[in-house]
Amino acid sequence: MLPKKLLFILGTRPEAIKMAPIILELKKIPNRYDVHVCITAQHRQMLDQVLEFFKIIPNSDLNVMKQNQSLFELTASCLLKLEEIINDFNPELIFVQGDTTTAFVGALAAYYKNIKIAHIEAGLRSFNKYSPFPEEGNRALISPITDFHFAPSQKAKENLINSGITGEKVFIVGNPVIDSLFLGLEIIKEESENKFIQYFNFLDLNKKIILVTGHRRESFGLPFEEFCNSINEIALKWPDVQIVYPVHLNPNVQKPVYQILKDISNVHLIKPLDYPHLIWLLSKCYLVLTDSGGIQEEAPSLGKPVLVTREVTERTEGIDARTAILVGTNKYNIVTHVNYLLRDQDAYDAMSIAVNPYGDGNSSKYIIEILNKIL
Q: How high is the pLDDT of residue 44?
A: 86
Q: What is the count of structural domains for the chain?
A: 2
Q: How high is the pLDDT of residue 45?
A: 82
- Domain match, 147 and 203 both: no
Q: What are phi and psi of 271, to 5 degrees?
A: -70, 160
pLDDT digits (tens, 9 = 90+) for 63-80: 998 888 899 999 999 999
- Domain match, 328 and 367 both: no
Pick the catalytic residue from 15, 25, 99, 225: 99
Q: How high is the pLDDT of residue 68?
A: 81
Pick the catalytic residue from 15, 25, 121, 311: 121
Q: How high is the pLDDT of residue 293?
A: 83
pLDDT digits (tens, 9 = 90+) for 303-343: 999 999 998 888 889 999 999 999 999 999 999 999 999 99
What is the DSSP-derived secondary structure letter of residue 263?
A: T
- Domain match, 47 and 31 both: yes
217 in active site: yes
- Domain match, 130 and 277 both: no
In terms of pTM, does the model score above 0.75? yes
pLDDT digits (tens, 9 = 90+) for 74-120: 999 999 999 999 999 999 999 999 999 999 999 999 999 999 999 99
Q: How high is the pLDDT of residue 157?
A: 97
317 in active site: no
Pick the catalytic residue from 217, 218, 233, 268: 217
Residue 235 belongs to domain spanning: 183-352
Pick the catalytic residue from 139, 215, 277, 310: 215
320 in active site: no
121 in active site: yes
Q: Which amino acid is at 228?
A: C
43 in active site: no
Pick the catalytic residue from 15, 25, 135, 314: 135
- Domain match, 217 and 108 both: no
- CATH number, residue 346: 3.40.50.2000
Of 173-177, 234-238, 353-357, the range with the lowest mean pLDDT is 353-357
3-state secondary structure 87-156: HHHCCCEEEEECCCHHHHHHHHHHHHCCCEEEEECCCCCCCCCCCCCCHHHHHHHHHHHCCEEEECCHHH
Pick the catalytic residue from 32, 248, 268, 322: 248
End-to-end CA distance of the chain: 12
- Domain match, 144 and 231 both: no
Q: How high is the pLDDT of residue 66?
A: 84
99 in active site: yes
